[in-house]
Amino acid sequence: MNLSPEGKDYLTQVLAAEENKIIHFYGVQSCCGTNIGVELVEPSKKDEIIEIDNILFLIDKQVSSTLDKVTIHAEKESRELGLVLLGLAPVNC
């Protein structure tokens, strides 16, 4: 997993407003496979914890291989800044 400069700036701003929270990537099962979800949580020992550019991430084991080659990026859509996972293969039904 990689982190673009835009992604790092965005996540740094988000985490500054949330005390003792880290970014958690997890899997959500659907009829088409596993979708990726993201939330802010307190650290847990059950997930894989990694550090990229001084930002900690919790990653559920079921999605760690899916996120292995993804770049976490941030860009504006409809005038709102949000996360984009560059390189993530779309789920097709």
92 falls within a domain:
no
The answer as to whether 77 is a domain residue is yes
Number of H helices, E strands in the chain: 2, 7
Q: State pTM to two decimals.
A: 0.85
What is the per-residue pLDDT for 86? 95
Are 58 and 48 within 8 A, CB to CB? yes
Within-domain flag for 60? yes
CATH code: domain of residue 14: 2.60.300.12
Q: Token pair of 41, please?
A: 């949580």
Q: Where would I find the beta strands (DSSP E) of 1-93?
A: 2-3, 22-30, 33-41, 48-52, 55-59, 71-77, 80-86
pLDDT (0 to 100) of residue 69: 92
Q: What range defines the domain where residue 51 resides?
A: 2-86
Tally of structural domains, the chain: 1
C-alpha angle 84/63/67, rounded to 5°? 45
17 within some domain: yes
pLDDT digit of tens for each residue in the chain (93 aa)? Answer: 999 999 999 999 999 998 889 999 999 888 878 889 999 998 877 767 899 999 999 998 889 899 999 999 999 989 899 999 999 987 777
